[in-house]
Amino acid sequence: MQPLIWENRPDGLRAPALVCAFTGWNDAGDAASAALQFIGSSLGATRFARIDPEEFYDFQATRPHIRLVEGKSREIDWPEVEVYAARVPRAPRDLVLLHGPEPSLRWRKFMQQIVDLSEALGVQMVVTLGALLADVPHTRPVHITGFASDEGLVGRLGLQSSNYEGPTGITGAIMAACQDAALPCASLWASVPHYVAAAPNPKAALALVRKLEGLVGVSVDAQELESDAGRYEAQVSAAVAQDPEVQAFVERLEAAALVQEAGATPDVPSGDVIARDFQRFLRQQGPGET
């Protein structure tokens, strides 16, 4: 059986863009996966394909979940990658949305499934979403970094050519596979505050949604996500205010951000120790007290 399982064929997609997000290493604060799921929900996306997990996941690392059906029978939900189509009549293109855990095994074969899917649907652009931990304050606008493999996208959309060298996640591997297949590809990354990494970050998810809108020409009503982002910032600010050491650290990050925006290079220490202390503090407060 082929890993890519078609449940139906979404015929007639107009100049589709494939948008991918994966939970795990590439998804600090759940921002990338939350952004993609919000877009799919807002546009009424429907599932039409999936990638069978058997070849690509270590089930001891990405464990399946057992659930009760009608309180009686037990079923296993296996980790899998799902593919959705979103038709957007008033936009210049439709979207294909791909979401799931980052695979553990056989990345090159997995990447080929993405390329094959793109070619079968006539995808004109692939966009990967990611989020990374950084020494940034939660109070400032979320910094989004955009990279593109295609020089036309770099110039037309104001993105950058990536010069990163080092360990990569599946998003970087997909970008390389698309480049080899002559398929235009871009990657958007949100910076997530290091000191509150464990909490879902709707503010970063919103920033990814807004940047993606400009990249693919598709808009969504993000009022709900905007409200979630406002609550997130208020809750984190309230928690920070209760710890003088963390508050001083955040103030230093805010000052450094202003310096960096002015074009200088700030001198800010790593937030590793403060992050661990603050995560412990948040856990002690409980879910309803931040």
d(CA 189, CA 169): 12
pLDDT single digits (tens) 98-135: 999 999 999 999 999 999 999 999 999 999 999 999 99
Q: What are the extents of the domains in the chain?
A: 4-220, 230-285
Phi-psi region of 265 (alpha: psi -120 to 50; beta: other; left: phi over 0): beta
Partners of residue 193 on adjacent β-strands? 134
d(CA 261, CA 67): 49
Q: Which of 122, 71, 74 is nearest to 96 (CA)?
A: 122
285 pLDDT band, cuts 50/70/90, is very low
pLDDT at 282: 53
Q: Which helix (H) or strand (E) holds 27?
A: none
pLDDT at 157: 65
d(CA 125, CA 121): 11
Of all residues in the chain, the percent with pLDDT exceeding 70 is: 89
Contact by Cβ (8 Å): 122, 87 = no
Q: Which CATH number fits domain 4-220: 3.40.50.300, 3.90.1150.10, 3.30.70.370, 3.40.50.10900?
A: 3.40.50.10900
Residue 240 CB contacts under 8 Å (≥ 6 apart), including other chains: 138, 246, 247, 250, 278
pLDDT at 284: 46
pLDDT single digits (tens) 198-228: 889 999 999 999 999 999 999 999 999 999 9
pLDDT single digits (tens) 224-276: 999 999 999 999 999 999 999 989 999 999 998 888 777 654 454 444 544 55
Residue 286 CB contacts under 8 Å (≥ 6 apart), including other chains: none
pLDDT single digits (tens) 24-79: 989 999 999 999 999 999 999 999 999 999 999 999 999 999 988 877 778 898 99
pLDDT at 269: 47
pLDDT at 122: 96
